Amino acid sequence: MAEKRKICAVITARPSYSRVKTVLQAIKAHPKLELQLVVAGSALLDRYGTAVNFIEKDGFTINDKVFMVLEGENKTAMAKTTGLGVMELANVFYNLQPDAVLTIADRFETIATSIAAAYQNIPLIHLQGGEVTGNIDEKVRHANTKLADIHFVTSEDARERVLKMGEDEAYVFNTGCPSIDIASEVQKSPKLDYNPFEKYGGVGGTFSLDEGYLVVMQHPVTTEYDAAKNDVLKTLRIIDELKIPTFWFWPNVDAGADGTSNGIRSYREKNNPKHIRFFKNMEPFDFLKLLVNGKCLVGNSSVGIRECSYLGVPVVNIGTRQNRRLRGENVIDVAYDEIEIKKAIEMQIATPKNKKSFVYGSGDSGIKIANILADIPLRFHKTITY
C-alpha cells in the first residue's frame, strides 16, 4: 500500500479555523491523506478565545503548538511575531517532514508559514488567494500566492486574479469557500437549539430572543490602527441607541485589537448596556445558527460576505475591510458613519430576508480540496507563466 501524503495545516487564529474546519475533516477522512495539525499564535491564547480548545473538542489531534505572539500594542510587535513564527515553524516542519504545508488567507502571520515551508522546499498550498482588501492583508495575501505552489480559491473572480498574477492554471482551483460547507450543514437544521447565555457565558445583559436580535462582529482594520477605538465606538453607540437585543463578538488579535477591545471595554464599564451580550468566541456551527435566526449581522466580518450570502442573512457591512469582494444581494455597505450605520440596520430589519447566492460555493469545498490534494503531482519549483 502506498504511504499517505502528509498535509500539514497551520492554524494561527480562531476565524481561520472556522474557515478551514471542513478541509481539515476531509483531509483527515481521506484514505490517501494524513493530516498534521499545528496550532499557533493567537489560536492558543485565552485573550482571543482559545480556539485550540474547540479544535481539540472537534476531535483533531494536534501535532505541535507554537507560541509566537509577542505582546505589544504596535506594529513592530506584529512584525516580530511574524519573524518569530518563521523561526518556530521552520523547526516544526523540519520535525514533521510534511509532503505539503497549508497556509490560509491573509493574516499577517500566515506569511511565516509560507516562508518556513517554501524555504525548506516543501510544496505550499494556499487557501483563499486572489481576494482584494486594499491594505497590509492584501499585500500578505498576494505574497502568499507568489510563495505558494497550489492555490484553492473561493470564487471565480479570485481565480482570475491568481491566474493573472502568473500562476500555472493547472495548480489553481476554484473549490468555493470551505466556510460554506458549514453553512450548508447549518442550513439543513437551522433551529437555534442551544441557549447562548448558558452555553457561552459572556458578559453583559441577559435578554429574551423572542423579538429577534442583532449580531455584531467588528474587527480593527490593521493599517488604520489609531482609528480602531474610534470606529468601534460609533457602532457601539448606534447599537446602544437602537435598544435591540444584540450579541457582540470580540475581535481577533491584530496591531489594533487592543484599540477595539479597549473601546468596547471602556464603553461597557461606563454605560453598561443591558441589551448587549459580549462573547469571546463560539463554535462555528452555533455561530451560524445564531446568524440564521437573527435579524441582521453588523460589522466588517467576512462572514457577512460569505456564509451570509449562502444563508441569505441580511448584513450591514461597515467600512473598507471587505472592499472589492464578490457579494450577494444580502449586503448593504456603509462607511464608519453613525447615521449611515443606523439607517442600514433599520432597512435590513424592515425588509424580508434576502435572496441567497452561491458565489462562494455549494457546500462541498472541503471534499473537493482533499480530493485534489490526494492526486495532484506535488512540486516546489514553479515559475511565472509570462
Using CB under 8 A as the binding rule, the residues of this chain from 192 to 211 that contact a second copy are: 203
Q: Which of 44, 105, 257, 345 lies at the binding interface for a second copy (CB under 8 A)? A: 44
Applying CB under 8 A, the span of 105-113, 181-189, 351-359, 367-375 interacting with a second copy comes to 105-113
**What minimum distance in Å lies between the beta carbon of 91 and a second copy?**
7
Sheet with 150-153, side-by-side order of all strands: 64-66, 33-40, 5-11, 100-104, 124-127, 150-153, 172-174
- The site for a second copy, by CB under 8 A, has a size of 72
Does the footprint of a second copy cover residue 55 (CB under 8 A)?
Answer: no
Residue 326, CA distances (Å) to 155, 156, 227, 331 in order: 8, 9, 26, 10
Task: Give the residue, chosen from 151, 161, 277, 368, that forms a contact with a second copy under the rule CB under 8 A.
Answer: 161
Q: Which stretch binds a second copy (CB under 8 A): 117-125, 238-246, 302-310, 347-355?
A: 117-125
| Binder of a second copy out of 53, 61, 74, 272 (CB under 8 A) | 74
Place of cell 480562531: 14
Closest CA to 316 of 281, 346, 359, 273: 346
Q: Of 192 and 203, which CB lies nearer to a second copy in the complex structure?
A: 203
Q: Is 300 in the site for a second copy (CB under 8 A)?
A: no
Cβ of residue 25: shortest distance to a second copy, in angstroms?
Answer: 26
Dist CA 58 CA 152 (whole Å): 23
Residue window 274-293: x/- pattern of binding to a second copy, with contact defined by CB under 8 A: --------------------
For residues 125 and 152, give the distance between their C-alpha atoms in angstroms, rounded to a whole number: 8
Among 5, 142, 295, 306, binds a second copy (CB under 8 A): 142
Q: Which of 13, 51, 100, 115 binds a second copy (CB under 8 A)?
A: 115
The answer to whether 212 contacts a second copy (rule: CB under 8 A) is no
Q: How many residues does the chain have?
A: 386
Residue 191 to residues 25, 89, 288, Cα–Cα distance (Å): 24, 41, 10
Number of neighbouring beta carbons within 10 Å of residue 72: 13
Q: For a second copy, which is the closer residue by CB, 164 or 243?
A: 164
Instruction: Choose between 56 and 185: whose C-beta lies nearer to a second copy.
Output: 56
| Interface stretch with a second copy, choices 137-145, 242-250, 295-303, 339-347 (CB under 8 A) | 137-145
Quick one: DSSP state of residue 199?
Answer: H
Report, in Å, the least distance between residue 345 CB and a second copy: 28
Rounded CA separation 170/377 (Å): 10
d(CA 140, CA 376): 25
Among 28, 32, 34, 83, binds a second copy (CB under 8 A): 83
* 356: Cα separation from own chain's centroid: 21
Task: Kindly give the residue spans of alpha helices, DSSP state H, lying in 196-256.
Answer: 196-200, 228-242
Residue that is written with C-alpha cell 475533516 in the block: 25
